Amino acid sequence: MYERQDSPAALPIYAQVSEVLIREIAAGRLADGQRLPPERQMAATHQVTVRTLRKSLKILEEKGLLERIQGSGNYVRSNPAAQSIYSMFRIELLAGGGLPTAKFLDITTCEKPSDLPEFGTSTRGTRMRRLRFLNKVPAAVEEIWLDADSGTVLAEQASDSLYRYYQVKLGFWISRAEDYVSIGQTPDWAPPEFGKSAGQATGFIERLSWEQKPHPVEYSRTWFDTDTARYVQRLK
């Protein structure tokens, strides 16, 4: 289920486990007040060591999503304000949750085409195309444009979480985003793994993202397989 550490784009295993649990709490698959299974059982379920699992649970505890009661166990605590690495990734499996991972198809720096909305301050940008998975199930294809004046994404350093890459490698973070959800046609560059042929109608999301500047610095478009996943926005 998890991306091993020999993948340069992978998050640490303990962070991947914590993300799965956070998304399952958000989706209601782990309910407020629910007692989690014993740690050894959970570690076996997630195929990690007890030590790794405890690091994952520590993250949940720090975010107010877990309460440890001595002699009783670990209990889920709902905290709508809790943020995570994938807090702004709004696509989930139809059953809820799912660990997001990505396979980059192409990363190139070029002139922005005329069909993009205005964003950033440069005429150039880094274009990234990738296939997105939820629990290793192909769920979406993305085309993401980062304005050249905000930095360049290097293929050999690219991460599953681009927002995390922006913060760690480029020194800025995405503070807000606007999504526009509709129906689109699968692009002709989508790989066969996606399961939707070119031109086929499917879910479509356009997003403009801002850092701490008055203009957006990133534009993306995502085509998601409605037979596998759905777009979810939870109000707080």
Q: Is pLDDT of 154 > 80?
A: yes
Give the single-character DSSP code of 156: G
Name the DSSP letter for residue 35. Answer: B
Distances (CA, A) of 102 to 82, 90, 172, 191, 224: 23, 15, 21, 13, 13
**pTM, 2 dp:** 0.87
Q: What is the pLDDT of residues 8-33, one digit of tens each?
A: 556 889 999 999 999 999 888 899 99
CA-based nearest residue to 163, from 144, 184, 148, 182:
144
Bridging pattern class, strands 229-231 and 201-210? unpaired
147 beta partners: 125
Q: Do 23 and 98 form a contact (C-beta atoms < 8 A)?
A: yes
Summarised one tens digit per residue, pLDDT across range 125-148 is 999 999 999 999 999 999 999 999
